[in-house]
Amino acid sequence: MNDLENDFGEQARRLLEGIRLLVRRFSLAERADISCCGMTVAQAATLEALEGGSLRLSELGQRLGITPSTLTRNLARLEDRGLVVRETDPADGRAQRVILSPAGRTAADGVRRQEEAFASVVLNHLPTGSVTGTLTALDQLLIAIRAATENCCPGAYEHLMTEISPSPTHGAKNE
């Protein structure tokens, strides 16, 4: 093995460890932010998935990556709190769609504001002038992850990739 292969292997290990640490730390912060809104991470993810409009149960389960039984329990809790409403799918009377109630939209907005406030604090801790480069690198990393996963799971991440905006640094403060 030559030095270039050794360096690439070390870089791959650094990438993997960095992503693991990032996921763990953001998960802990997300849990703390969401718990103060009175819900679980799964409930918040459900509300977030429904912000774009109603979804069929199967679409919602796929988007969240959870089993039908887990989705059913999650929705029951959200329905009990008046945050979501199930309705018959007009295109197929046998199917159901889920939509945010007005209270659910308010709750989803609150969770999003909490998470955005945390992300702003993170950005403010980056060195001056590095926000654009950091966000560009993050976009590139997400695109590379998508390309690397297409072999095993074609199309599985389409809904996640739509969230990458064309101008991720629009409005960034720390330039």
What pLDDT, in 10s, does the model give residues 109-126?
988 898 898 899 999 999
CATH code that applies to domain 3-125: 1.10.10.10
Positive/negative CA dihedral, 157, 75, 97, 50: negative
Question: pTM for the whole thing?
Answer: 0.72
User: By 3-state DSSP, what share of the chain in percent is helix, strand and coil, each rounded to 5?
Assistant: 65, 10, 25
Q: How many CB atoms lie within 10 A of CB 34?
A: 21
What pLDDT, in 10s, does the model give residues 14-54?
999 999 999 998 888 888 877 767 888 889 999 999 999 99
Q: Please state, in angstroms and rounded to a whole number, the distance separating the CA atoms of residues 78 and 143.
A: 33
What pLDDT, in 10s, does the model give residues 46-86?
999 999 999 999 899 988 888 899 999 999 999 999 999 99
What pLDDT, in 10s, does the model give residues 131-161?
999 999 999 998 888 888 877 776 666 655 4
pLDDT above 60: residue 163: no
